């Protein structure tokens, strides 16, 4: 009770405020005072990250200090530990996160048992930690991901809903609404070092999972949704006469679409040493440009993928901010359509008309630039070349998922999916093997669900069910072998996935959520062989 009362002071003003489309002054002030671990721990932070004290660069930046930052830094300045002594110093002064245990039982039972293990209580951060405050209970992905993440949570919430955990769906929506009210957007995750970027915007779709009918809550959520839209469109004015500004791009005909971006151009706190090394290898390109594109790749959720690389085999060629992504713009279309519908329900005709027009204009621009009839696919657009990219990837299914594709477009995409993206164990992410984790041979739960739901809604139920069956077979096989639900899978061999900046993680929120959603949609899928004890 004390936790909730203390937090209420943070949110009560925002909850009573009238609807608005831009963040109030408090947003800028709160964001400006939030300090990341790099800011707080300076020389200690750099030493830990550059000496690779922990195999995962995110471990230290999520640690919780046992003493005040000033006391810790004074002790570090006196002793200047190095190597094993540095790790001992960190362990003595911080609580360092651990790992999950092995599970048991059939797949669906295991997922239901995992939800309580992944639930976290409202957060009031310890001084000097990187955590952001949250007012309500929430579910974390698991493994190294010890905080709430934006786009992960939508797919987690799908499973919570069908597994009878509606109160958690509502409390997570309270958290996301609060984040928008306080920071003007939903950050990548609830850490200070994530505040400069967001993730694929699923808040509008999350709201469709709610059963809350309170008009006051609906008003507050609509205001938050409009604020989030304003965040993504903040560069609209400064993009006039320019190719791009912030997250907004001007296409050759003057139409407006969006890109991924990050407000900072420094190494990411959680991958500091890796980003420093990548930027150094990219020289003579300015380090800030490389680091901005690495950060933008992180905002995309596809960190990293050949989608963002000039040379698919070299991360140093990343140029995310040149790419106009089909997934982001499909989600922006869904957001604009949702705002129009909610404004209409609220009796705000002017708002409904304005956002209906925005959604229509975006659909026209997507059809003109991102739809490629000759190759039967939706493609990302490269601003630097003025052409669609050659990447064939699972993002092409987003227009089907949000109801943007016409029947002929959906049929063409389905044919391309059958030909290029269906693998033994599910839907491929891309068709290129690069060593990056968002490339072949890895498959990811959210992309499976987007394909399944999008194809099923567009006259391709057999293909949707086939992908679902293949994916559940992969998840079940890995679970039988490891006793764990994993972040990603090798869908060619039906084994744990690989690649990327960190080891494969278990837990795992969006895998759990999608597995439950699939088994709920297709109850005829057998689960008798998905038991590690047999």
Which residues form the catalytic set?
303, 487
Go through 475-513 and write b for each residue having 16 or more CB atoms within 10 A of its CB, e for each that does not. bbbbbbebbbbbbbbbbbebbbbebbbbebbbbbbbbbb
* DSSP designation for 382: E
Query: Can you tell me whether residue 364 is helix, strand or coil?
Result: helix
- Cα separation, 165 vs 171, in Å, equals 10
Residue 506: beta bridge partners? 486
- Cα separation, 88 vs 320, in Å, equals 38
Cross-sheet strand order for the sheet of 488-490: 442-444, 488-490, 495-496
> DSSP letters of 138-195?
EE--BTTB-S-BHHHHHHHHHHHHHTT-HHHHHHHHHHHHHHHHHHSS--SBSBGGGT
User: Taking a C-beta distance cutoff of 8 angstroms, is the pair 102, 469 a contact?
Assistant: no
Residue 64: beta bridge partners? 95
Distances (CA, A) of 224 to 15, 207, 234, 353, 419: 10, 11, 15, 19, 41
Structure tokens that stand for 160 in this block? 């919570």
Residue 372: beta bridge partners? 377
Structure tokens that stand for 229 in this block? 């839209």
- Cα separation, 490 vs 441, in Å, equals 5
- Cα separation, 402 vs 338, in Å, equals 11
- Cα separation, 220 vs 225, in Å, equals 9
Strands 381-382 and 387-388: antiparallel
Structure tokens that stand for 333 in this block? 């279309």
The C-alpha R_g of the chain, in whole angstroms, comes to 22
Instruction: Look at the block and give the residue holding tokens 């072949």.
Output: 440
Cβ-based neighbours of 374, under 8 Å, separated by 6 or more: none
Cis, peptide link before residue 441, omega less than 30° from 0: yes
Structure tokens that stand for 480 in this block? 């039988």
Which of 118, 126, 51, 136 is closest to 90 using CA atoms? 51
């Amino acid at each position: 009770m004390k936790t909730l009362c203390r937090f209420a002071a943070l949110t009560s003003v925002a909850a009573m405020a009238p609807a608005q489309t831009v963040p109030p002054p408090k947003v800028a002030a709160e964001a400006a005072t939030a300090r990341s671990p790099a800011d707080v721990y300076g020389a200690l932070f750099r030493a830990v990250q550059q000496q690779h004290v922990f195999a995962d660069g995110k471990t230290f930046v999520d640690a919780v200090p046992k003493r005040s930052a000033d006391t810790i830094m004074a002790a570090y300045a006196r002793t200047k530990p190095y190597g094993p002594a540095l790790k001992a110093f960190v362990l003595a002064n911080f609580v360092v996160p651990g790992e999950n245990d092995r599970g048991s039982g059939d797949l669906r039972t295991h997922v239901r048992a995992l939800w309580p293990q992944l639930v976290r209580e409202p957060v009031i951060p310890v001084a000097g930690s990187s955590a952001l405050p949250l007012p309500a209970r929430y579910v974390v992905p698991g493994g190294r991901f010890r905080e709430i993440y934006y786009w992960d949570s939508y797919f987690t919430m799908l499973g919570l809903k069908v597994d009878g955990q509606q109160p958690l769906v509502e409390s997570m929506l309270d958290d996301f609404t609060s984040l928008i009210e306080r920071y003007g957007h939903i950050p990548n995750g609830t850490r200070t070092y994530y505040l400069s970027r967001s993730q694929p915007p699923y808040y509008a779709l999350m709201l469709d999972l709610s059963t809350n009918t309170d008009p006051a809550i609906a008003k507050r959520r609509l205001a938050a949704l409009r604020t989030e839209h304003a965040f993504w469109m903040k560069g609209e004015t400064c993009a006039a006469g320019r190719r791009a500004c912030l997250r907004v791009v001007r296409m050759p005909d003057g139409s407006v679409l969006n890109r991924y971006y990050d407000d900072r151009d420094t190494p990411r706190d959680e991958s500091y040493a890796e980003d420093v090394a990548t930027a150094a290898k990219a020289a003579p390109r300015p380090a800030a440009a490389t680091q901005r594109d690495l950060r933008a790749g992180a905002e995309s959720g596809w960190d990293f993928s050949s989608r963002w690389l000039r040379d698919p085999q070299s991360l140093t060629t990343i140029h995310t901010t040149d790419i106009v992504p089909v997934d982001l713009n499909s989600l922006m279309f869904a957001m604009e359509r949702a705002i129009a519908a909610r404004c209409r329900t609220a009796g705000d005709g002017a708002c409904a008309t304005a956002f209906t027009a925005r959604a229509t204009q975006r659909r026209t621009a997507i059809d003109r630039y991102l739809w490629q009839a000759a190759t039967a696919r939706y493609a990302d657009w490269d601003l630097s070349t003025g052409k669609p990219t050659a990447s064939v990837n699972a993002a092409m299914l987003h227009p089907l998922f949000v109801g943007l594709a016409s029947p002929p477009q959906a049929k063409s995409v389905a044919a391309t999916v059958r030909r290029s993206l269906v693998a033994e164990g599910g839907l491929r992410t891309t068709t290129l093997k690069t060593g990056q984790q968002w490339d072949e041979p890895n498959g990811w739960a959210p992309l499976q669900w987007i394909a399944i739901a999008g194809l099923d809604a567009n006259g391709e139920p057999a293909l949707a069910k086939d992908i679902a069956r293949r994916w559940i077979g992969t998840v079940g096989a890995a679970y039988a072998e490891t006793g764990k639900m994993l972040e990603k899978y090798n869908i060619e061999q039906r084994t744990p996935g690989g690649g990327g900046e960190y080891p494969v993680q278990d837990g795992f929120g969006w895998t759990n959520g999608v597995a439950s959603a699939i088994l709920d949609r297709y109850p005829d899928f057998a689960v008798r062989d998905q038991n590690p004890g047999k």
